[in-house]
Amino acid sequence: MQYLFLLYANEKGWEQLSADQRKQGEAAYTAYTNALREAKIYVGSNRLRPVGDATTVTMQTGQSRVIDGPYADTKEQLGGYYLVDVPDLDSAIAWANRCPGAHHGTIEVRPVWAM
């Protein structure tokens, strides 16, 4: 079953890190990604650019509205995701718990709607 890990964290935290700390942080994500691959559960992942680079589009009012910035202004922002294929929710939670993002932010674990 596929699960999407949505990684939320305060972007400002990253900006405040030293170059060394950033390198270490990136290495932790690399190691985590490799472990997912080796366990053969990795489907995909991406890191997202800051919400400052986001553009929001809607046509709910019948008219196109294009807005600079993220969909919702929140204390923690969506910063990336992992898509994994694991047997069940227990296993998904165990893997989300190992993700470096769980330490400096919050991970939402969402089952993918199977089509």
Partner 1 sequence: MHDAHRAAEAIARHSYGKLVAYLAARNRDVAAAEDALSDAFAAALTEWPRNGCPDKPEAWLLAVARRKLIDGARRRITSELAADDVRDIVASIAATDEAEIPDQRLALMFACTHPAIDVAIRAPLMLQTVLGLDAARIASAFLVSPATMGKRLVRAKEKIRSAGIPMQIPTRDELPARLADVLDAIYAAYAEGWNDHAAPDTARRQLADEALFLGHILVDLAFDEPEALGLLALMLHIEARRHARRSDSGEYVPFDEQNPKRWDSAMITAAEKLLRRAAELGVIGRYQIEAALQSAHVHRRRCGVANWDDIVNLYDALLEFSASPVVAINRALAIAETDGTSAALVAMPDAEQDRRLIEYQPYWAARASLLARTGAHAEAHHAYEMAIGLESDPAVRTFLQRRLKRIQM
Asked if residue 106 binds partner 1 (CB under 8 A), the reply is no
Asked if residue 28 binds partner 1 (CB under 8 A), the reply is yes
Considering the complex, state which of residue 31 and residue 67 has its C-beta at the smaller distance from partner 1. 31
Angstrom distances, CA of residue 112 to CA of 6, 22, 55, 84, 85: 12, 31, 25, 10, 10
* Contact criterion met (CB below 8 Å) for 45 and 6: no
Letters for 49-88 (x = contact with partner 1 by CB under 8 A, - = none) are ----------------------------------------
